[in-house]
Structure 1
Amino acid sequence: MPKLLSLRAGLGSVLFWSVISAAFIGPGTVTTCAMAGSRFGLQLLWALTFSTIGTVILQEAAARVTIASGLSLGELLTKAYGIRVRWLMVTLFGAVALGCAAYEAGNILGAVSGLALLTSLSPQLLTLLIGLLSMALLWKGSTQSIANILGIIVFSMGIAFAYVAISASPNGVDLAKAMVVPSIPPDGQVLVIGLIGTTIVPYNLFLGSGIGQKQTLAEMRWGIGLAVLIGGLISMAILVSGTLVSGEFSFQTVAQTLSLRIGSWAGSLFGFGLFAAGFTSCLTAPLAAAVTAKSLLGWSETSMPYRIVWLAVMLIGLLFGLLGVKPVPVIILAQAANGLLLPVVTIFLFIAVNNKTLLPAQYRNSLWQNLAMLLVVAVTAFLGLRNVWLALQ
């Protein structure tokens, strides 16, 4: 009987932490992974292996800090540095909120694009339905129930893309080699950065540390490890599916190519997967902004400012979605802001997880954890500076 209870707790934890996978698997991930597969075959698959491992390392550290101290990452920073970093807290929240609002439009448009491949309803009606459903779930649901809903959708999406990827019949030896051997073909650097940057997302660290207080260390590690691994495998399946596509890249092209080469069901599954990616991110982007506000600014989940944050993010995305306009200037600014945000957050997380004053010895990083985290911090710092440079260009 105890084993059954332990199994249930483990599966429940995986489902709960699937909110992290739902947050990083959005239309941008689908586009980047499918485009990487279309242009370079399996050559960039290793970047997803690295980013999946990096995400597990950072998310586990953020959640471990919260479980050990009872404080979210933002609260821990405030306690450690006091009002001296209040300006930094506000700046970090502003950068996260800006990024969430900018990308929410893309999430809604991505979900609509997926449904448009499956139905003949007008884009405006689909946008309105998705926006209203998302707002209803965020208004009524707790983070636990929302996480469970997202987990179910992510797993369904994973099955869809895995089925398409298996149908592409990749060579097993080439697949295994591409997963672990780094290779950057000519003109592939930007997509490598995109594949890593779309998986290791800075606001997920605040989201993860803000929702994991009530779990044990074992449940958290089991949940994050498997949930992020599943998310990484879904991203890899999307990349493998993209190897079937040639010519000019678009969602319609991908669906048509899959339908012609595998069967009409493959195009429909891609449409469902794109919708699922967009819809889950429609929920997680506003939720991440609100949880970040709670963590950095001390607002409770029941407070009106907390709800105003996620409502504002949702309404901005809905407005751009109804207008059919992509907020390119805002997205460019958000890329620059998040480019600076990612290394700053990871460096603060590294300091926090080694803090002898706030954390007991058993919760602090071991030597190998520090080495692994330093590698991820170095890479994310490079990505951040690179993203800023690209945004300025």
Structure 2
Amino acid sequence: MQNWFKNIGPGPLVAAAFIGPGTVTVCTLAGVGFGYALLWAMLLSIIATIVLQEMAARLGVISQNGLAHAIRSEIKNPVIKAFAIILILSAIVIGNAAYEAGNISGGVLGLETIVGNSNITIAGFSINFLSIVIGIIAFVLLYLGNYKVLQNALVFLVILMSLAFLITAIITKPNFSEILNGVFIPKFPKDGMLTVIALIGTTVVPYNLFLHASLVKQKWHNKSDLKYARKDTLVAVVLGGLVSMCIIISAASIQTQDINSAADLAKGLEPLFGSFAKYFLAIGLFAAGITSAITAPLAAAYVATGCLAWSTNMHSKKFRAVWMLVLLVGILSASSGIKSIEIIKFAQVTNGILLPIIAGFLIWVMNKKSVLGAHVNNVKQNIFGIIILGISILLSLATLNKVFQLNLI
């Protein structure tokens, strides 16, 4: 056990990044609307995430460079390079700033389920006090710039989140044969396709590929460490996927359809299963919010510094300036109640377009011996990668279709 803890890498940070309030909400709606029928979509998402994150981890360990650096150095055409950098900066940095408000608000929802309303009025303005508290916690952990401290804090929060959602699911006394049926037998219920795509899209996250490739080189420096990176990725992503499944299972026990968020789910569980269920879910939602509130600015900083050839040292002024900006936008939006609808819509579109582009580039670079030598993709990895690329293109079309109603699919 001691050896296992010693070899924990950035895997839990990756799990922490994809299980945010958005994931909790999507999984809640999947469970409330379709019961266990869409659990297979989570299994598919877990497999896709493992395949892509393993590639990102392998790139980081072998090349000792991040994905943003690889994009900048490997694309030779100046026009394509400039387009790729602008697109990535827009989607990841601006997108993460928009979503940061949602991450902080999710953590606040979890706390408010336990402690009640936290709004205070100052000079006529209503400010959410808990948003500022969560922002300060995230600021302190990021400003310390100590990878080990950050990792340990997030490992603790991920374990807390996992236990909270697991206990919530157990309390609801689910039917295990129906769960297995939902996991291994794909079903396409009426009006369920967009939810399937949302479950995949909220798990296979573009910014996680950049975050993972940048963080593994903080932990491992030798090619012989690749086996540890792979095991770390596998364990963390599977754990994260099981957490998402537990949320779906918990939500499936609610009889009413009048559930729109995880906070509603917490309230809905109380009359059926007692206040303990509500508290466990609230703790899980708080942990999901605060972990994503830390990893989103961190990923944005790695992407910006990698794309612009700045130092990726966590103590550098430019690195800190990027994550501070993202975090500040999130705190101000969440504490004042401002909803930047247009920015979030832009983030949805650019992230939807970005996923197949980044997945495609990742597969391309993972076949370059000049970067990875003998550790390039094998045939099986390329087949899985191309299948996932196809799914990500479908997700991209669905995102565009949903936002602009283009009737593409």
TM-score band w.r.t. shorter chain: over 0.9
Contact 1:16 1:148 in 2 (8 A): no
Deviation, structure 1 residue 297? 2.0
Equivalent residues in 2 for 1:234-245, closer than 5 Å: 234-245=243-254
Structure 1 SS opposite 2:116: coil
Q: Which moved more, 1:350-359 or 1:72-81?
A: 72-81
Contact 2:14 2:208 in 1 (8 A): yes
> TM-score with structure 1 length normalisation?
0.94
Contact 1:67 1:217 in 2 (8 A): yes
Equivalent residues in 2 for 1:117-132, closer than 5 Å: 117-120=113-116, 122-123=118-119, 124-132=128-136
Deviation, structure 1 residue 247? 2.7
Which among 303, 306, 312 is matched to residue 319 of structure 2?
Answer: 306
Count of residue pairs the alignment pairs up: 386
Q: Which moved more, 1:109-118 or 1:71-80?
A: 71-80
Give the Cα–Cα distance (whole angstroms) in 2 for the partners of residues 222 and 377 of structure 1.
Answer: 23
Contact 2:210 2:299 in 1 (8 A): yes
Deviation, structure 1 residue 14? 3.6
Deviation, structure 1 residue 381? 1.4
Give the Cα–Cα distance (whole angstroms) in 2 for the partners of residues 257 and 15 of structure 1.
Answer: 37
Give the Cα–Cα distance (whole angstroms) in 1 for the partners of residues 381 and 9 of structure 2.
Answer: 25
Q: Which moved more, 1:72-81 or 1:195-204?
A: 72-81
Deviation, structure 1 residue 151? 1.4
Structure 2 SS opposite 1:169: coil
Contact 2:169 2:247 in 1 (8 A): yes
Amino acid at match of 2:393: A
Q: Residue in 2 aligned with 1:248? A: 258
Equivalent residues in 2 for 1:216-227, closer than 5 Å: 216-227=225-236
Deviation, structure 1 residue 83? 6.4
Deviation, structure 1 residue 82? 3.8
Q: Residue in 1 aligned with 2:122? A: none
Q: Residue in 1 aligned with 2:241? A: 232
> TM-score with structure 2 length normalisation?
0.91
Contact 2:110 2:286 in 1 (8 A): yes
Equivalent residues in 2 for 1:133-144, closer than 5 Å: 133-144=137-148
Give the Cα–Cα distance (whole angstroms) in 2 for the partners of residues 129 and 371 of structure 1.
Answer: 46
Give the Cα–Cα distance (whole angstroms) in 1 for the partners of residues 47 and 134 of structure 2.
Answer: 32
Give the Cα–Cα distance (whole angstroms) in 1 for the partners of residues 75 and 340 of structure 2.
Answer: 36
Q: Residue in 1 aligned with 2:56? A: 62
Q: Residue in 1 aligned with 2:97? A: 101
Q: Residue in 2 aligned with 1:376? A: 388
Give the Cα–Cα distance (whole angstroms) in 2 for the partners of residues 77 and 21 of structure 1.
Answer: 24
Which among 268, 277, 292 is matched to residue 266 of structure 1?
Answer: 277
Deviation, structure 1 residue 188? 0.9
Is 1:171 aligned to residue 175 of structure 2? Answer: yes
After superposition, the Cα gap between the structure-2 partners of 1:389 and 1:13, relative to the gap in structure 1 and judged at 3 Å, is farther
Amino acid at match of 1:86: A
Which among 194, 197, 212 is matched to residue 193 of structure 1?
Answer: 197
Give the Cα–Cα distance (whole angstroms) in 2 for the partners of residues 34 and 367 of structure 1.
Answer: 37
Which among 282, 289, 303 is matched to residue 278 of structure 1?
Answer: 289
Q: Which moved more, 1:149-158 or 1:324-333?
A: 324-333
Is 1:297 aligned to residue 291 of structure 2? Answer: no
Q: Residue in 2 aligned with 1:346? A: 359
Q: Residue in 2 aligned with 1:364? A: 376
Q: Which moved more, 1:111-120 or 1:254-263?
A: 254-263
Amino acid at match of 1:277: A
Q: What is the RMSD computed on CA atoms of the aligned residues?
A: 1.5
Structure 2 SS opposite 1:212: helix
Deviation, structure 1 residue 18? 0.2
Structure 2 SS opposite 1:358: helix
Deviation, structure 1 residue 252? 4.2
Deviation, structure 1 residue 89? 1.7
Structure 2 SS opposite 1:360: helix
Give the Cα–Cα distance (whole angstroms) in 2 for the partners of residues 86 and 48 of structure 1.
Answer: 35
Q: Residue in 1 aligned with 2:125? A: none
Q: Residue in 1 aligned with 2:158? A: 154
Deviation, structure 1 residue 357? 2.4
Deviation, structure 1 residue 86? 3.5
Structure 1 SS opposite 2:132: helix
Per-residue CA deviations over 1:33-78 (Å, capped at 9, x if unaligned) read 0111011000010111011111111011011122222221122222
Contact 2:9 2:216 in 1 (8 A): no
Per-residue CA deviations over 1:195-240 (Å, capped at 9, x if unaligned) read 1000000000000000112421011001000011100000000110
Q: Which moved more, 1:340-349 or 1:245-254?
A: 245-254
Contact 1:333 1:391 in 2 (8 A): no
Contact 2:141 2:149 in 1 (8 A): no
Structure 2 SS opposite 1:170: coil
Deviation, structure 1 residue 91? 2.4
After superposition, the Cα gap between the structure-2 partners of 1:165 and 1:46, relative to the gap in structure 1 and judged at 3 Å, is same
Give the Cα–Cα distance (whole angstroms) in 2 for the partners of residues 151 and 43 of structure 1.
Answer: 31
Contact 1:15 1:152 in 2 (8 A): no
Q: Which moved more, 1:169-178 or 1:104-113?
A: 169-178
Deviation, structure 1 residue 120? 3.2
> Between the two proteins, what is the percent identity of the paired residues?
38
Give the Cα–Cα distance (whole angstroms) in 1 for the partners of residues 272 and 392 of structure 2.
Answer: 38
Deviation, structure 1 residue 121? 5.3
Give the Cα–Cα distance (whole angstroms) in 1 for the partners of residues 53 and 133 of structure 2.
Answer: 32
Per-residue CA deviations over 1:112-144 (Å, capped at 9, x if unaligned) read 111001113514111111111211111113233
Contact 1:10 1:222 in 2 (8 A): no
Q: Residue in 2 aligned with 1:335? A: 348
Q: Which moved more, 1:289-298 or 1:334-343?
A: 289-298
Give the Cα–Cα distance (whole angstroms) in 2 for the partners of residues 26 and 313 of structure 1.
Answer: 16
Q: Which moved more, 1:85-94 or 1:206-215?
A: 85-94
Give the Cα–Cα distance (whole angstroms) in 2 for the partners of residues 89 and 237 of structure 1.
Answer: 37
